[in-house]
Amino acid sequence: MNHWLVKSEPFKYSWEKFNKDGRTFWDGVRNYQARNNLKEMKEGDLVLFYHSNEGKNVVGVAKVVKEFYQDPTTDDANWVVVDLAPVETLKNPVSLEQIKAEESLKDISLVRQGRLSVMPLRAAEFDKILEMSEK
């Protein structure tokens, strides 16, 4: 299983809205590196959901429920989506500041490539962020 982090601006698509919907396709990705990451996602992979711009917190865990297919919001065949479903809301959101302060997370893309919207995480990084949400 692989682990990922996806970013969404809460005013565009929030964790709360995602939970109400129960499932969504992850669209609007227009960066080739992020698109390539979507293509690497496999059904069952776990995904951290991060609120960007407002809040700047990891707020929940989702899972990939359908692997990549053509983005239905565009005719451009370069762009794809995956389907995600919410798994659980974190007990305590984990802020970008907390992540930056954690030595073991200093090399994750969230810190090093702030504009990337879909990024891989190592299992240990994913687990560390979950552990931080328990405090």
| pLDDT tens by residue, 75-121 | 999 999 999 999 999 999 999 999 999 999 999 999 999 889 999 99
The percentage of the chain sitting over the pLDDT mark of 70, rounded to a whole number, equals: 100
Region 28-47: what's the mean pLDDT?
A: 97
CATH 1.10.150.110 assigned to domain 3-128? The reply is no
Q: What is the pTM of this model?
A: 0.97
Report the C-alpha gap between 101 and 6 in whole angstroms. Answer: 20
User: Which helix (H) or strand (E) segment is 88 a member of?
Assistant: strand 80-95
Q: Are 26 and 81 within 8 A, CB to CB?
A: yes
Nearest to 55 by CA among 13, 4, 103, 102: 13
Is the separation of the CB atoms in 121 and 4 below 8 Å? yes
